[in-house]
Amino acid sequence: MHTEHRHAQEMKAEHKQSALNRLKTVRGHLDGVIAMVEDERYCPDIMKQVSALQGSLEKVNRVLMQNHVETCVLHAVEEGRSGEIVDELMETLRYTPIVTGATGETT
């Protein structure tokens, strides 16, 4: 049922930078965790780092969600496509445990 979405709205520069910075930090962190597994480090220590990575990725989604609301969603509402965008938002919430406050942190 998913259609390919064009990103008609440019990302806000601050959100783009924030998302990129966070993702690149995750990449470096992930390399460290891979090295931990290769070294057969203590399992709970590795799990702690994986959990931290998951939290970092949730924050990326939070940034992307904020960008999406501030650009695409507002634009869609202005164009009178409210129903369509609400459906899409509800679908998007599946990807974001952050809406439940699971990560407990704001950016």
Q: Which is nearer to Cu ion, 33 or 61 (CB)?
A: 61
Q: Is 72 a residue that touches Cu ion (CB under 5 A)? A: yes
Q: Identify whether the C-beta of residue 18 lies closer than 8 Å to the C-beta of residue 63.
A: yes
Take residue 94 and report the two structure tokens written for it: 């599946």
Q: Is 62 a residue that touches Cu ion (CB under 5 A)? A: no
Q: Identify whether the C-beta of residue 41 lies closer than 8 Å to the C-beta of residue 68.
A: no
- Angle between helix axes 13-38 and 43-68 (nearest 10 degrees) is 170
Least Å from the CB of residue 53 to Cu ion: 24
Task: Give 40's contacts (C-beta < 8 A, 6+ positions apart).
Answer: none
Dist. CA 53–CA 93, nearest whole Å: 20
Q: Is 68 a residue that touches Cu ion (CB under 5 A)? A: yes
Q: Which is nearer to Cu ion, 33 or 68 (CB)?
A: 68
CB under 5 A: which stretch of 21-29, 48-56, 63-71, 91-99 binds Cu ion? 63-71
Q: Which is nearer to Cu ion, 49 or 92 (CB)?
A: 92
Q: Which residues lie near Cu ion (CB under 5 A)?
A: 68, 72
